[in-house]
């Protein structure tokens, strides 16, 4: 494939060495996390030199489950991430359609507005959004977690780009058949740009499932607490070392995303690399 | 803010659904984990069994400072909990912002609970004693010294009672080359311990007009003492980590026998006794010009109902819980499970007469040290001075070896600039 | 195309523009306004003029924060770009083993920041962490990576590199696969060895990709927050107080909405500059692609 593929023994052993380092650096930590989560408190306190747990135990997982309502927080997290990913697609389709296919006054301005939002990440807006939503009682609601992300500027841009390559004739034919505009957008155009939408959905889901920043600043109590927040809180003060429990929480937090990643790696990579 | 209010009213009416219900129970926010968590949750359970008409639900909010950040933002957002506990230093500010319910106006709390005076709001703060009471003592502490009993015996020394003796002890107990050295002494580079040193060096945080002077010379000398221990004598290793992480790291190093003496809150008596493989010997902090310690830990408060859009009965539930926690039996249960000071006089007497203190002399150290408590100044800037001005400068001064005089002057300068 | 009804396009755009207005543009105006007030969320705001800005500048806080963030950004971008390129070249092969390694590296980019930060806190733990213990075992002097003001910023930069190198690698892989094989064949026919082929074919063809990866990485590292909040809370001695964490600390720890807003405005300006850089890199990349 690439230029370095036809290499001699030196190249091959270099490659072997790199693979070993890669394994140590990128696979090792996951193993260490899992191994730690199977240890007991005693082993952790004694800071064991031996690599494998002497008496593998699931106590740490039990501890996480009793201390944290994992199920409820996981549902919160999934509801949030799925709503955001779904809303982004539902809103990006008509917006992308208007921007790609329809001629109207202000189209250029509208497009620029969407693009301008790429400049305004949540790290810029969280202070005013928080002070804005606070007095109206919206902080701490699922709405505060979802609605600000209902529009993805980049997603809208991607959908517009994808729709640009759809021939006008398809839309004209649909109009002649009497299909409503909404039906054209969601029923006819959406399937045509499905790869873009799938990539967008997956990327958005994975990103928001893991998000720590926004839920941290927009929730004050545990009603809408998401899993990343709860896992970060596992490292509670007042006790000694409890890394086995924290790592068990880490495994619980990472497993769903790694599963999604294992299944849909291709689409996620596409979403990332397609710029 | 007018435009914001209009927007607020509109969006609020449509979306918010103004009140809160208590399907999940009446919220009680707490911080700090470990044995504190276990002891508090057991008591909340008992309260819910004893008074089933008020079902409290305890929500963990991280460490003291994380909880405070959440509390103040929640007050802004109208989501304050019915009950919570806060570090004492924030009280003057919260009282100034008028977000706390004066507790002496609540019927269920209008009685003399017989608290240990130094641990109450009036005892813990100097100045006017006629201000309304906003807080009742919960987990109250003083810093104490923890010594490794085996090392004490090996060296044939008694716990140090003066700064000089502390140096002598630390020098004697430090051994081994760098990398695997056992240190003689350790103490978090933290506001609380610095305040203790300032008091011992004869200084005051504020002058007669309640303006912050940060101990003046004593503030500088406290820093010089720490620098000397760390850099000159090399008998002290400051534990790493921010805030309570450092306290925790220090506990670990003590348990592992890598440091002979630590200063920490009395809160950890039980934890350290249970986990150390050697006898733990507690002692009061030493003096230089005089003995002196601040109080620490937290106090219970009830945020005003409007700060949480609370259903009418939440405050009642909160007050009932505070009264429950002020009983000698419940507060003693919390104290003996952790190491905190029992907050009622009757509770202290009970532990004395029942022979508990005879069996567990370490628990008594903080109680006896109450004689030397220096009250906090009642100044609304107290917490800001602690967190924003002093804390990070202490670290910079001791760890990066900056000039103590310049450090204190810079801090005084920032305070003088005003909020 | 002409819309069926002149109002249709506006209806189609309405929800998007509403959200954009409410949660992107309006907040920016609010932040601009709040930056001229002294406000602690709980008591009434007071007009403060430019005080928030001047105090940030005079106290040295702004310089410190910008300096740390730039250092962090350069370290992260330099390391993740170089590593991403190297890994992309070495792992750009068929076969399950290579696919597995590519996935392993990229998976770090997908996993939650919280999980990554906690995991590395444990690995880098000064006392019981596996790195310190391994170092001690072979007699290398170890450090308190996260607790020492000299190393903490680089420790979190390392963790960030670990997390985003997969991103750089994936983008580079796409770039590598877009290079026409004929170029390599021609170079090989000329007798160029692997190093020469890299210098004369791979690197020039990937220059636009590099510009893109680097500038995107710079924006990403300027927005770093989770890693700081979980691992160091900005310490020790503020050595890891990066820009977003400084904003967070001003509003949620110090309750200074005004100063937080002033920082937000400065941050916004910096982001604009970085994005201009990013766009320029992207455009330059396009032009070069068209030229080849």
**Confidence band (pLDDT; 50, 70, 90) for C290?**
low
Q: In chain A, which residue ranges form alpha helices assigned H by DSSP?
A: 9-22, 28-37, 41-45, 59-67, 70-101, 107-116, 122-133, 142-146, 153-164, 168-176, 181-183, 190-192, 194-210, 213-218, 227-233, 243-273
Q: Does A239 touch chain B (CB under 8 A)?
A: yes
CB contacts of C144 in chain B (<8 Å) are: 240
Map residue B52 onto helix, strand or coil: coil
CB contacts of B266 in chain A (<8 Å) are: none
Domain spans in chain C, listed from the N-terminal domain onward? 61-123+150-291
Whether the per-residue pLDDT at C181 is higher than 70: the answer is: yes
> Within this chain, do residues B207 and B74 fall inside the same structural domain, yes or no?
no
Q: Does B63 touch chain A (CB under 8 A)?
A: yes
- Give me the domains of chain A, ranges plus CATH numbers: 77-197 (1.10.3720.10)
CB contacts of C187 in chain A (<8 Å) are: 3
Q: Tell me the per-residue pLDDT of C261-276, one tens digit each, with 9 for 90 and over.
A: 999 999 999 989 988 8
> Within this chain, do residues B122 and B46 fall inside the same structural domain, yes or no?
yes
Q: What is the pLDDT of residue C67?
A: 96
Residue A120: closest C-alpha in chain C: C24
Using N-to-C axis directions, what is the helix angle for A243-273 and A28-37, rounded to 10°? 150
Instruction: Tell me, yes or no, if the pTM score tops 0.80.
Output: yes
Point out which residues pair with B117 in neighbouring strands: none
Q: What is the pLDDT of residue A235?
A: 83
Q: Tell me the per-residue pLDDT of A55-82, one tens digit each, with 9 for 90 and over.
A: 888 999 998 998 889 999 999 999 999 9
> Within this chain, do residues B309 and B209 fall inside the same structural domain, yes or no?
no
How many CB atoms are closer than 10 A to CB A6?
Answer: 11
Query: Choosing among C46, C147, C254, which should be mutated to test the B contact, i.e. which has the most B CBs within 10 A?
Result: C147
> What CATH number does residue B191 fall under?
3.40.190.10
The larger pLDDT score, comparing residue A100 to residue B241, is at A100
> Within this chain, do residues B28 and B135 fall inside the same structural domain, yes or no?
yes
Average pLDDT, chain B: 90
**Is residue B371, in this structure, part of any structural domain at all?**
no
> Within this chain, do residues B321 and B341 fall inside the same structural domain, yes or no?
yes
**Confidence band (pLDDT; 50, 70, 90) for B3?**
very low
> Within this chain, do residues B100 and B169 fall inside the same structural domain, yes or no?
no
What the block records as the tokens of A20 is 């070993």
**Among the listed residues A223, A226, A66, A80, the one whose alpha carbon sits nearest the alpha carbon of residue B22:** A223
Q: What is the pLDDT of residue C42?
A: 87
Q: What is the pLDDT of residue C237?
A: 81
> Within this chain, do residues B150 and B118 fall inside the same structural domain, yes or no?
no
Distances (CA, A) of C9 to A171, B55, C12, C83: 15, 53, 5, 46
CB contacts of C115 in chain A (<8 Å) are: 33, 210, 228, 231, 250, 253-254
**Confidence band (pLDDT; 50, 70, 90) for A134?**
confident
Q: What is the pLDDT of residue B5?
A: 47
> Within this chain, do residues B304 and B347 fall inside the same structural domain, yes or no?
yes
Q: What is the pLDDT of residue A56?
A: 86
Q: What is the DSSP string of C24-78?
A: IIHHHHHHHHHTTEE--SSS--EE-TTHHHHHHHHTSHHHHHHHHHHHHHHHHHH
Calculate mean pLDDT across residues C184-206. 85
Q: Which of residues 139-178 of A touch B (CB under 8 A)?
A: 139-141, 143
Calculate mean pLDDT across residues B139-163. 96
Q: Which of A127, A168, A247 sits opposite C264 (nearest CB)?
A: A127
| CB distance B141 to B341 below 8 Å | yes
Distance from CA of B406 to the nearest CA of A (A): 33
Calculate mean pLDDT across residues B39-63. 93
What the block records as the tokens of B192 is 């609380």
Q: Tell me the per-residue pLDDT of B321-379, one tens digit each, with 9 for 90 and over.
A: 999 999 999 999 999 998 899 999 999 999 999 999 999 999 999 999 999 999 999 99
Calculate mean pLDDT across residues A98-102. 95
| CB distance B334 to B44 below 8 Å | no
**Is residue B355, in this structure, part of any structural domain at all?**
yes
Q: Tell me the per-residue pLDDT of A141-154, one tens digit each, with 9 for 90 and over.
A: 899 999 999 999 98
**Is residue B303, in this structure, part of any structural domain at all?**
yes
What the block records as the tokens of B125 is 């703060």
How many CB atoms are closer than 10 A to CB C212?
Answer: 22
CATH class of the domain at C61-123+150-291: mainly alpha
- 3-state helix, strand and coil shares in percent for chain B, rounded to the nearest 5: 50, 15, 35
Calculate mean pLDDT across residues C115-140. 87
Structural domains counted in chain B: 2
Q: What is the pLDDT of residue A270?
A: 78
Whether the per-residue pLDDT at B204 is higher than 80: the answer is: yes
Range of the domain at B45: 22-141+296-362
**Is residue B186, in this structure, part of any structural domain at all?**
yes
At B283, give phi and psi (nearest 5°): -150, 155
Whether the per-residue pLDDT at A240 is higher than 70: the answer is: no
| CB distance A261 to C110 below 8 Å | yes
Whether the per-residue pLDDT at B380 is higher than 80: the answer is: yes
Whether the per-residue pLDDT at B228 is higher than 70: the answer is: yes
Gap between the Cα atoms of A4 and A260, Å rounded: 32
The larger pLDDT score, comparing residue A270 to residue C98, is at C98
**Is residue B372, in this structure, part of any structural domain at all?**
no
CB contacts of C10 in chain A (<8 Å) are: 98, 104
Whether the per-residue pLDDT at B120 is higher than 70: the answer is: yes
Calculate mean pLDDT across residues A204-208. 92
> Within this chain, do residues B302 and B269 fall inside the same structural domain, yes or no?
no
Percent over 90 (pLDDT), chain C: 57
Q: Does B396 touch chain C (CB under 8 A)?
A: yes
> Within this chain, do residues B28 and B125 fall inside the same structural domain, yes or no?
yes
- Return the H-helix or E-strand segment holding C91: helix C61-91
Calculate mean pLDDT across residues C191-220. 87
Q: Which of C111, C173, C229 sits opposite A210 (nearest CB)?
A: C111
- Return the H-helix or E-strand segment holding B260: strand B259-265
Q: Does C128 touch chain A (CB under 8 A)?
A: yes
Calculate mean pLDDT across residues C142-146. 84
- Return the H-helix or E-strand segment holding B28: strand B26-30
Calculate mean pLDDT across residues C72-85. 96
Calculate mean pLDDT across residues C60-76. 95
Residue B67: closest C-alpha in chain C: C253
Q: What is the pLDDT of residue A2?
A: 44
Place of tokens 């039906």: A183
> Within this chain, do residues B165 and B285 fall inside the same structural domain, yes or no?
yes
Q: Which of C27, C104, C137 sits opposite A27 (nearest CB)?
A: C104
Range scoring the smallest mean pLDDT among B279-283, B303-307, C114-118: B303-307
Whether the per-residue pLDDT at C229 is higher than 80: the answer is: yes
> Within this chain, do residues B396 and B255 fall inside the same structural domain, yes or no?
yes
Q: What is the pLDDT of residue C291?
A: 62
The larger pLDDT score, comparing residue B193 to residue B237, is at B193
Q: Tell me the per-residue pLDDT of A6-44, one tens digit each, with 9 for 90 and over.
A: 557 777 788 888 889 988 999 999 999 999 999 887 777
């Amino acid at each position: 494939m690439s230029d370095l593929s036809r290499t001699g023994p030196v190249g091959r052993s270099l490659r072997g060495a790199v693979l070993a380092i890669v394994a140590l650096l990128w696979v090792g930590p996951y193993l260490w996390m899992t191994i730690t989560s199977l240890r007991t408190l005693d082993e952790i306190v004694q800071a064991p030199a031996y690599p494998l747990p002497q008496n593998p135990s699931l106590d740490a997982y039990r501890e996480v489950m009793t201390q944290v309502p994992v199920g409820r927080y996981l549902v919160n997290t999934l509801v949030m991430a799925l709503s955001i990913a779904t809303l982004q697609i539902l809103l990006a389709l008509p917006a992308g359609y208007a921007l790609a296919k329809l001629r109207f006054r202000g189209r250029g301005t509208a497009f620029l507005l969407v693009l301008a939002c790429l400049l305004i990440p949540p790290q810029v807006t969280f202070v005013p959004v928080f002070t804005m939503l606070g007095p109206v009682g919206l902080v701490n609601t699922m709405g505060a977690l979802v609605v600000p992300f209902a529009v993805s500027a980049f997603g809208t841009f991607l959908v517009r780009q994808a729709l640009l390559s759809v021939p006008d004739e398809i839309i004209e034919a649909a109009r002649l058949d009497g299909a409503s505009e909404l039906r054209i957008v969601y029923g006819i155009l959406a399937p045509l740009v499905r790869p873009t939408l799938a990539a967008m959905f997956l990327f958005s889901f994975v990103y928001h499932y893991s998000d720590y920043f926004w839920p941290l600043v927009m929730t004050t109590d545990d009603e809408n607490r998401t899993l990343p927040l709860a896992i970060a809180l596992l490292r509670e003060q007042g006790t000694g070392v409890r890394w086995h429990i924290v790592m068990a929480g880490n495994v619980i937090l990472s497993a769903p995303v790694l599963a999604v990643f294992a299944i849909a790696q291709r689409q996620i990579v596409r979403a990332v690399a397609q710029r | 803010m007018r435009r914001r209010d209009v927007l607020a009213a509109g969006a609020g009416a449509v979306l918010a659904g103004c009140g809160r219900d208590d399907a999940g129970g009446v919220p009680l926010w707490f911080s700090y984990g470990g044995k504190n968590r276990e002891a508090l949750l057991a008591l909340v359970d008992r309260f819910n069994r004893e008074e089933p008409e008020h079902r409290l639900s305890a929500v963990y909010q991280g460490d003291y400072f994380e909880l405070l950040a959440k509390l103040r933002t929640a007050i802004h957002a109208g989501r304050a909990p019915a009950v919570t506990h806060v570090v004492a230093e924030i009280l003057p500010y919260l009282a100034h912002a008028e977000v706390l319910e004066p507790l002496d106006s609540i019927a269920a709390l209008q009685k003399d609970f017989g608290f240990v005076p130094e641990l109450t709001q009036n005892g813990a703060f100097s100045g006017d004693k006629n201000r309304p009471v906003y807080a009742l003592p919960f987990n109250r502490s003083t810093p104490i010294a923890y010594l490794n009993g085996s090392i004490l015996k090996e060296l044939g020394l008694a716990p140090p009672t003066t700064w000089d003796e502390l140096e002598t002890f630390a020098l004697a107990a430090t051994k081994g080359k760098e990398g695997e050295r056992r240190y003689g002494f350790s103490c978090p580079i933290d506001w609380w311990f610095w305040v203790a040193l300032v008091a011992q060096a004869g200084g005051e945080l504020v002058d007669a007009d309640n303006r912050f002077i940060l101990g003046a010379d004593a503030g500088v000398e406290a820093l010089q003492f720490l620098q000397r221990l760390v850099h000159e004598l090399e008998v002290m290793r400051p534990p790493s980590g921010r805030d309570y992480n450092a306290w925790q790291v220090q506990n670990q190093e003590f348990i592992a026998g890598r440091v002979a003496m630590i200063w920490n809150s009395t809160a950890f008596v039980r934890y350290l006794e249970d986990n150390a493989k050697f006898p733990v010997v507690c002692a009061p902090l030493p003096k230089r010009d005089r003995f002196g310690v601040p109080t620490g830990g937290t106090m219970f408060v009830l945020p005003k109902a409007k700060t949480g859009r609370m259903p009418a009965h939440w405050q009642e539930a909160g007050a009932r819980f505070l009264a429950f926690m002020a009983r000698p039996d419940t507060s003693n249960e919390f104290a003996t499970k952790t190491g905190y000071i029992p907050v009622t006089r009757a509770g202290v007497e009970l532990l004395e007469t029942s022979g508990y203190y005879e069996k567990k002399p370490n628990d008594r150290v903080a109680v006896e040290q109450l004689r030397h408590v220096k009250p906090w100044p009642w100044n609304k800037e107290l917490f800001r001075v602690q967190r924003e001005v002093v804390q990070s400068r202490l670290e910079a001064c001791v760890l990066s070896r900056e000039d103590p005089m310049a450090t204190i002057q810079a801090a005084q300068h920032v305070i003088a600039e005003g909020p | 195309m002409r819309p069926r009804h002149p109002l249709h396009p506006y209806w189609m755009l309405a929800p998007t523009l509403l959200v954009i207005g409410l949660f992107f543009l309006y907040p920016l105006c609010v932040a601009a306004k709040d930056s001229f007030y002294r406000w602690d969320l709980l008591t009434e705001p007071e007009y403060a003029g430019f005080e928030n800005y001047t105090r940030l500048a005079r106290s040295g806080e702004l310089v410190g924060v910008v300096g740390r963030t730039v250092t962090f950004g350069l370290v992260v971008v330099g390391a993740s770009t170089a590593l991403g390129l190297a890994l992309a070249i070495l792992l750009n092969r068929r076969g399950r083993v290579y696919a597995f390694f590519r996935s392993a590296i990229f998976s770090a980019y997908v996993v939650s920041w919280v999980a990554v930060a906690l995991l590395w806190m444990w690995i880098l733990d000064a006392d019981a962490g596996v790195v310190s213990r391994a170092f001690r075992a072979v007699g290398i002097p170890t450090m308190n990576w996260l607790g020492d003001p000299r190393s903490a910023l680089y420790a979190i930069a390392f963790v960030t590199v670990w997390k985003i190198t997969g991103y750089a690698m994936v983008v580079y892989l796409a770039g590598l696969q877009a290079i026409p094989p004929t170029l390599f064949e021609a170079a090989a026919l000329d007798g160029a060895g692997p190093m020469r082929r890299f210098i004369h074919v791979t690197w020039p063809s990937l220059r636009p990709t590099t510009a893109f990866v680097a500038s995107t990485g710079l924006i990403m590292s300027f927005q770093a927050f989770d890693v700081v909040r979980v691992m160091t809370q900005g310490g020790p001695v503020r050595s890891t107080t990066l820009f977003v964490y400084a904003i967070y600390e001003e509003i949620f720890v110090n309750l200074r909405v005004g100063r937080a807003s002033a920082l937000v405005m400065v941050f916004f300006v910096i982001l604009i500059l970085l994005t201009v850089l990013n766009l320029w890199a992207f455009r330059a990349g396009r032009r070069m692609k068209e030229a080849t």
